[in-house]
Amino acid sequence: MRNVQQQWREHWLSKGNIVEIDSPTITPESVLQASGHVSAFNDHASECNSCNGIFRSDHLVEEYHQNPESLSGADLDSILAANNVTCPSCNQEDWADSRPMNLMFSTKIGATRGGRQAYMRPETAQGMFLTFPMIQRHFRNRLPFGAIQVGKGYRNEISPRQGMIRQREFNMAELEYFIDPNVEAHHDLSKWDGVDFQLIPDPRDGEQETKNMDIGTALAKNIVRHATVAMFMAETYDFLTSIGADPSKIRFRQHESDEMAHYASDCWDLEMNGSYGWIECVGIAHRGCYDLAAHEEATGTKELRAWREFDQPIEIDKEVVSAIGSVVGPAFKQQAGQVTEALSELEIIPTTFPFELTLKDGNVVNIDDSMVKVVRIQETIRGEWFLPHVVEPAFGLDRIIWHLLDHGYEMTSKEGEEYLILHLSESVAPYEVVVLPLFEKDGMTEIAKELQSNLLDIKGIGVYYDGTKSIGRRYARADEIGVPWAITVDYESLDDGTVTVRRRDDQSQIRISIDDLIHHLQSGSLQSVF
């Protein structure tokens, strides 16, 4: 898991305009009210009146509907009834009306009475929206830029299932990429020319079917609706294959319009195939300005906006009404300020006097022609403040790790017996190397232990020593837990300082010197010596 997290981080940070942040997991209620999670982060639950068992309503009806997560409570209830769905616990058919249940873990900040209502964060994304002003300052206000966060997310599931696939506490990794919607995004997608992506576009009216095409074509045909979304789909594909996912078991499914959040303009799930079938592992969504707008509305801050310089400053030359202070002041006394402000905001120059002017506090006053003059002003407007849009790739790391194990798992046979090899990528294997003395005697133990210790000094390398049982048994143990390289210290090592290197994936062996071994591992991999 640490290795997957680290690879993920490096994948995005190496783009140069992305920064990592870390925000608290305990989140005050006001934040999640603004984001909509307090009112809308719900699953429908159905309670059995007979045994009081509680189940997710959409799970109960999943045989009877293609997309049960999108159904309303009333629809769920009627499907339950129409299909005589019985309780998985007691087999009775006696359902109470389904109810929405908020899925956040609730807690209080402050150990004393009262305390402030809070929740464990349902996603890491809110941290990036709240710290947007700092992130923008970090990048000196130059869009586009992004922020990533890796950490725990919490979802108080009604009925967790499928092991690592659906947990109440899970590892997330999210990227929020902020863009100016008025600037057309250009990304060089030619790197992926000829790479076949499995896409299942929103069927609009027709059937939903898988199409194979490269990402540039999908964008050109407007199947993928935004260039930045296309770029993140391709980058995500690269990331997953670089850590060992099987490309043939990756596909992208576009959200249908009724499944997509109302503010999103394009949304794709990356699904991975494994023993549970196709499972959503990453969501890539164009969220518009929904999130920043929601926090702006809740807080009234102006710090969530970015500045857009116009190509050409706009010169404004216009006539405006201006209050004559020496008349307005005595005439309106305490109200004079409000009158002056209301006059300056008039869009149309009044031509008939007196006229009625509505103040900010709702009062109406009469203005006669002695109180105002018309003046000509010139202004240069160099730009404007706007809410950036955001494209969000959100990764469920536990699900991805589960699929790496699934894709890497190969049950084969050797000498008539079952033989397991776990083909973990070198980039994420917990142990890159095992060091094995052929026998634990005649000095081989010492050489092997010293070698282990020297290899452990190389940054980021996991190495263990295994001295017991036959060498074949020890190779098998290493293959089973996915160690890419097994180094054997034998009698020849005592004479000439060479060792054998065995490659897990094809069990081929070569002999090299310990110095060369160390050198190759320092520069990244033993793959090059084969």
The residue ranges that bind its own copies (CB under 8 A) are 1-2, 6, 9-10, 13-16, 20, 22, 24-26, 43, 45, 47, 54, 101-103, 105-112, 120, 140, 151-152, 154, 156-158, 168-169, 171, 452-453, 456-457, 459-460, 462-465, 468, 522-523
Query: What's the min distance (Å) between Cβ of 16 and its own copies?
Result: 5
Q: Where are the alpha helices (DSSP H) in 199-274?
A: 215-220, 227-242
Q: Which residue has the tokens 């293609």?
A: 66
Name the residue nearer to its own copies (CB basis): 24 or 472.
24
Do residues 367 and 357 touch, judged by C-beta distance below 8 A? yes
Query: What's the min distance (Å) between Cβ of 87 and its own copies?
Result: 15
* Terminal Cα-to-Cα distance of the chain (whole angstroms): 28
Both tokens assigned to 526: 């033993």
Do residues 491 and 438 touch, judged by C-beta distance below 8 A? yes
Q: Count Cα neighbours of 406 within 13 Å in the Cβ-side half-sphere.
A: 20
Do residues 423 and 408 touch, judged by C-beta distance below 8 A? yes
Q: In whole angstroms, what is the distance from residue 12 CA to residue 9 CA?
A: 6
Name the residue nearer to its own copies (CB basis): 323 or 486.
486
Name the residue nearer to its own copies (CB basis): 260 or 456.
456
Query: What's the min distance (Å) between Cβ of 15 and its own copies?
Result: 8
Q: Residues with Cβ < 8 Å from 2, sequence gap 6 or more?
A: none
Name the residue nearer to its own copies (CB basis): 107 or 344.
107
Name the residue nearer to its own copies (CB basis): 248 or 527.
527
Name the residue nearer to its own copies (CB basis): 115 or 133.
115
CA dist 198 → 289, 301, 397, 408 (Å): 29, 43, 21, 21
Nearest C-alpha neighbor of 502 from the set 474, 522, 523:
474
User: What's phi and psi for 521, nearest 5 deg?
Assistant: -70, -35
Query: What's the min distance (Å) between Cβ of 303 and its own copies?
Result: 21
Cα angle: 121, vertex 125, 129; to 5 degrees: 110
Query: What's the min distance (Å) between Cβ of 158 and its own copies?
Result: 5
Query: What's the min distance (Å) between Cβ of 299 and its own copies?
Result: 22
Name the residue nearer to its own copies (CB basis): 166 or 249.
166
Both tokens assigned to 417: 């017996």
Name the residue nearer to its own copies (CB basis): 128 or 328.
128
Query: What's the min distance (Å) between Cβ of 483 and its own copies?
Result: 14
Q: In whole angstroms, what is the distance from residue 100 CA to residue 19 CA?
A: 37
Query: What's the min distance (Å) between Cβ of 53 and its own copies?
Result: 10
Using DSSP bridges, classify how beta strands 54-56 and 106-109 pair: parallel, antiparallel or unpaired: unpaired
Name the residue nearer to its own copies (CB basis): 89 or 106.
106
Name the residue nearer to its own copies (CB basis): 288 or 396.
396
Residue 166: what residue type? R
Q: At what angle do helices 514-522 and 444-456 cross, to 10 degrees?
A: 20
Name the residue nearer to its own copies (CB basis): 441 or 459.
459
**Residue 74: how many CB atoms within 10 A of its CB?**
10
Q: In whole angstroms, what is the distance from residue 493 CA to residue 463 CA?
A: 19
Q: In whole angstroms, what is the distance from residue 5 CA to residue 396 CA?
A: 11
Nearest C-alpha neighbor of 250 from the set 212, 222, 287:
212
Query: What's the min distance (Å) between Cβ of 82 and its own copies?
Result: 25
- Residues pairing with 286 in the sheet: 266, 391
Cα angle: 382, vertex 384, 389; to 5 degrees: 140
Name the residue nearer to its own copies (CB basis): 5 or 335.
5
Query: What's the min distance (Å) between Cβ of 296 and its own copies?
Result: 26
Query: What's the min distance (Å) between Cβ of 421 and its own copies?
Result: 20
Query: What's the min distance (Å) between Cβ of 105 and its own copies?
Result: 5
Q: Which residues of 366-392 are buried (b: 16+ CB within 10 A; e: fewer)?
A: ebeeebbeeeeeeeeeeeeebbbbbbb
